A and B are shown apart, each in its own frame.
Chain A
Amino acid sequence: MTDRGSFRVQSDQLRAHADYWTGKAAQADSARTTIEPGVGMGVDFGYLAGLNGVADNYDEWTNDMYAALSDAAATFRYLNAALVSAANDYDGADDTSATAMSELDPMNNVR
């Protein structure tokens, strides 16, 4: 692995920036917990709402949003890992510093 030592300071900044995505992932997890009680609860709109499509649409939307937040958190964690891995790779600290593609790629395969 080529040593690109002159990038050391800047790669540290990149690692710091990678933490931004860790924070976003935590936000997505927290949001998921926050909306969870209402997911799929279209029945609470009442009988007439069931007849007129509100309940079904609500259930579909909330389930989609719940799944989207899970995918979002996974994507954000992937970006964190990818940036840290790339910074490590750029530094060329050692052969194991970069996370293997075989490990990174599945993190991004959120669907």
Chain B
Amino acid sequence: MTVQTFEDLQSTMEGTFQGFLDDVYDELDRIVDMLNGASDLLSTAVSVINPFDGINPFSSTVKRAIDKWNDEILPETERRLAELVDNVWDAIGDLAGRPLDLLDYSRAFNEVKAQIYTENDMAQQLVLVSGFWSGRAWENYETVARAQDEAVRDFSLAMDAGGTLTSGVANQILSLWSELVEEFLSWGSDLLRIFASATEVDSILTFETPAILTGAATIWQNIIDLGTTLTNYLIEQATTGANSWQQLANGARGLPQNQWPMVREGNSDMINDAGEWTPQSA
């Protein structure tokens, strides 16, 4: 199953939910019909042959099965389903994001990284310029040019780091979305199997209500784990990782202080002072 956008996830989960709920209620209706059928049969039999239904084992079984269904299984199932629907939608909200847009941003950062800096490009330029220019003006210009080139390199490194962090979150979100859908489908099929096993009145009495609860608790725990996985990943990315967003945001990585270096006034004035120039001999 491919889930690439939040709209995909919503659509998939809505469809999955609706199909699942339809299947569950079909099973519940079938069980109710089965119990009603048994009850009708019992009423007919009692009215004809047996005034002592209290000692009729079949009567007792049907009555206990109906009571268990009405008092225990059905309300608990409905409560658990409602709770699960709420919880899953909450989890989907927590896992929301726009990973495909994030991947676009990441590609943009990587594109800029590749375009803006070419190693040794400036060094080669300066070798050429040094062939016709010397003196204090040249020395100041060379210093300024190298500083600007370093800033371009640092900016390129920042783009690389930002691109990697951005695509990392996008891929993590996409992966967890897929897991969420798989988890839910897996649990849904398990639950339906439990209901489908109730084909006899007797089976209602031994019906594994705890299995429903365990199943719901398990799926919910797994969904919580998905959110926890994403949270831990995000915390690592934000602050604690060796390459964190925090380091990029405060300028500890990439472009120092995240500010482009100005050309100092003194350097600037020297570069522009023709009196400080010494042309190289041809």
Instruction: Tell me the chain A residues, 1-48 only, with Cβ under 8 Å from chain B.
Output: 2, 4, 6-7, 9-11, 13-14, 17, 20, 24, 27-28, 30-31, 34-35, 37-38, 41, 44-48
Q: Is the CB of A54 within 8 A of B238?
A: yes
Q: Is the CB of B162 within 8 A of A65?
A: yes
Instruction: Tell me the chain B residues, 237-254 only, with Cβ under 8 Å from chain A.
Output: 237-239, 244-246, 248-249, 251
CA distance A13 to B282 in the complex (A): 12
A contacts with B, residue count (CB < 8 A): 62
Indicate with 1 or 0, residue by residue over A33-75, a CB within 8 angstroms of chain B CB atoms. 0110110010011111101111011101110110011011001
Given A13-B132, A41-B105, decide whether A47 and B94 contact each other with a Cβ distance below 8 A: yes
Indicate with 1 or 0, residue by residue over B104-137, a CB within 8 angstroms of chain A CB atoms. 1100110110011000000001001100110001
Q: Is the CB of A27 within 8 A of B116?
A: yes
Q: Is the CB of B258 within 8 A of A58?
A: no
Indicate with 1 or 0, residue by residue over A75-95, a CB within 8 angstroms of chain B CB atoms. 110110011011001101000
Given A72-B260, A82-B268, decide whether A44 and B155 contact each other with a Cβ distance below 8 A: no
Given A17-B128, A48-B94, A86-B274, decide whether A53 and B246 contact each other with a Cβ distance below 8 A: yes
Q: Is the CB of A64 within 8 A of B251?
A: yes
Q: Is the CB of A4 within 8 A of B111?
A: no
Q: Is the CB of B263 within 8 A of A75?
A: yes
Q: Is the CB of A83 within 8 A of B271?
A: yes
CA distance A8 to B23 in the complex (A): 88
Surface stretch bound by A, among B28-36, B144-152, B187-195, B201-209: B144-152
Contacts of B230 in A (CB 8 A): 48
Given A48-B230, A79-B263, decide whether A65 and B116 contact each other with a Cβ distance below 8 A: no
Contacts of B215 in A (CB 8 A): none
CA distance A30 to B114 in the complex (A): 12
Which residue in A11, A24, A47, A61 is a CB contact (below 8 Å) of B93? A47
Q: Which residue of A lies closest to B162 (CB)?
A: A61
Which residue in B249, B272, B279 is a CB contact (below 8 Å) of A60? B249
Instruction: Tell me the chain B residues, 17-59 only, with Cβ under 8 Å from chain A.
Output: none
Q: Is the CB of A38 within 8 A of B274?
A: no
Q: Is the CB of B235 within 8 A of A90?
A: no
Instruction: Tell me the chain B residues, 148-173 only, with Cβ under 8 Å from chain A.
Output: 148, 151-152, 155, 158-159, 162, 166, 169, 173
Among all A-B residue pairs, the 6 with the closest Cβ atoms: A46-B97, A38-B105, A57-B245, A71-B260, A64-B258, A53-B238
Residues of A within 8 A of B (CB): 2, 4, 6-7, 9-11, 13-14, 17, 20, 24, 27-28, 30-31, 34-35, 37-38, 41, 44-49, 51-54, 56-58, 60-62, 64-65, 68-69, 71-72, 75-76, 78-79, 82-83, 85-86, 89-90, 92, 98, 101, 104-105, 108-111
Given contacts A57-B246, A90-B279, 8 further A-B contacts (CB under 8 A): A4-B279, A10-B279, A34-B108, A46-B173, A52-B234, A52-B238, A54-B238, A82-B263
A-B contact pairs, 21 of them (CB 8 A): A13-B128, A28-B116, A30-B115, A31-B112, A37-B105, A38-B108, A45-B97, A46-B95, A46-B96, A51-B231, A54-B238, A56-B249, A58-B249, A61-B162, A65-B258, A68-B155, A68-B255, A75-B148, A79-B145, A83-B141, A89-B274
Residues of B within 8 A of A (CB): 93-98, 101-102, 104-105, 108-109, 111-112, 115-116, 125, 128-129, 132-133, 137, 141, 144-145, 148, 151-152, 155, 158-159, 162, 166, 169, 173, 227, 230-231, 234-235, 237-239, 244-246, 248-249, 251, 255, 258-263, 265, 268-269, 271-274, 277, 279-280, 282
